[in-house]
Amino acid sequence: MIYLLHMKKAILLALTGLFLIPATAQTPLRTYIDDPVKKALQIGGVQSTASSWRHPGTSSEAGAQIDLLLDRADQCINICEIKFSTQPFVIDKKYSRELEQKLAAFRQNSGSRKTLFLTFISTYGLSDTIYKEQLADADITMDALFG
């Protein structure tokens, strides 16, 4: 899948568009994105496979799309939501419901029994809300990835 749609356009052009990440046949995007995400999550030593996921949905069921999955050898999966914002990203009530539906769709349609961790990768992190506390297992900023 064209290396995860170029790792979601190189994590939304490095979340700010300020710098482009070179990708060559000898240097895959994993080196620039996947490894720093794992380091920020403190799971660098855990073998994992990065991918994206999409369920098209049906007339009776909503579809879902996940930006980045880190399917780990320790029976866990980081479900990564990648967001660009000029300020801390806010998870409101409506978006929290969408996230819960996305997690449920993944669980049901993937058949995975692994532990799911909802991970946010964003420019300036998440705004402190009750929904962040309830849903977000990890919050990675561009500083953690590229600082």
Band (pLDDT 50/70/90 cuts) for residue 19 is very low
pLDDT at position 67 over 90: no
Q: How many residues does the chain have?
A: 147
The residue with greater pLDDT, 9 or 54, is 54
Share of the chain above pLDDT 90, in %: 57
What is the arithmetic mean of pLDDT over 33-53?
87
Separation CA 127–CA 117 (nearest Å) = 18
pTM of the model: 0.78
Average pLDDT, the chain: 82
- C-alpha 114 chain-centroid distance: 16
Q: What is the pLDDT of residue 33?
A: 60
The residue with greater pLDDT, 10 or 62, is 62
What is the arithmetic mean of pLDDT over 16-36?
52
pLDDT at position 14 over 90: no
For 127, residues 6+ apart whose C-beta sits below 8 A from its C-beta are 87, 88, 89, 90, 91
What is the arithmetic mean of pLDDT over 70-94?
94
Q: What is the pLDDT of residue 40?
A: 92
Q: What is the pLDDT of residues 94-133, one digit of tens each?
A: 999 999 999 999 999 999 999 999 999 999 999 999 999 9
The residue with greater pLDDT, 146 or 56, is 56
